[in-house]
Amino acid sequence: MLEINSLAPDFKLVDQNQKIHQLSDYLGKWLLIYFYPKDNTPGCTKEACGFRDVYKDLREKLQILGVSADSPNSHQKFAQKYQLNFPILSDVDKKVIHQYQALGLKKMFGREYQGILRISYLIDPKGKIVKSYDKVKPNLHPQQVIQDLKSLQSK
């Protein structure tokens, strides 16, 4: 995980609509960047839909970006199927995923492999990481972020 109070690494990635996003686009705003393994898998769908449902009320307070190694085309289908209302970014070469330390050893059916970890970072308007989340539980994560954001914005 990246250090709390460190500057978030810059990035330049394309979303499901071929629009380019970079960290500098979000300076001056609160940003949640969350990394997830794969479009259309049960946990990733649950997490994305959870953020979709809370984002209606958060738009003024927080920008949300999802990131995985899936293609923009895959993201477009995923976003349309579940009516996602925030950008999901494609990092096919996993460069940004690596920069954000969201690539690591995973286990499934007793087999170990390198994969994308389900982690998130809450970034303040100055571009500093103020909260990190590892071992995210997809169904609880959106509410955790809302609580943390309220707490941090009231300081």
pLDDT of 111 reads 78
pLDDT of 23 reads 96
pLDDT of 37 reads 95
What is the band of 58 on the pLDDT scale with cuts at 50, 70, 90? confident
pLDDT above 80 (res 19): yes
110-136: pLDDT as tens digits: 878 788 999 999 999 999 999 999 989
pTM, to two decimals: 0.94
* Cβ atoms < 10 Å from Cβ of 76: 19
CB crowding 87-116: b at 16 or more within 10 Å, else e: bbbbbeeeebbeebbbbeeeeeeeeeeebb
pLDDT of 83 reads 97
Relative to beta strand 88-90, strand 103-108 is unpaired
What is the band of 59 on the pLDDT scale with cuts at 50, 70, 90? confident
Strands laid side by side in the 129-133 sheet: 20-22, 12-15, 88-90, 63-68, 31-35, 120-123, 129-133
Q: Catalytic pick from 13, 31, 32, 44? A: 44
- Ordered by start, the domain boundaries in the chain are 12-153
44 annotated active-site? yes
CATH number of 12-153: 3.40.30.10
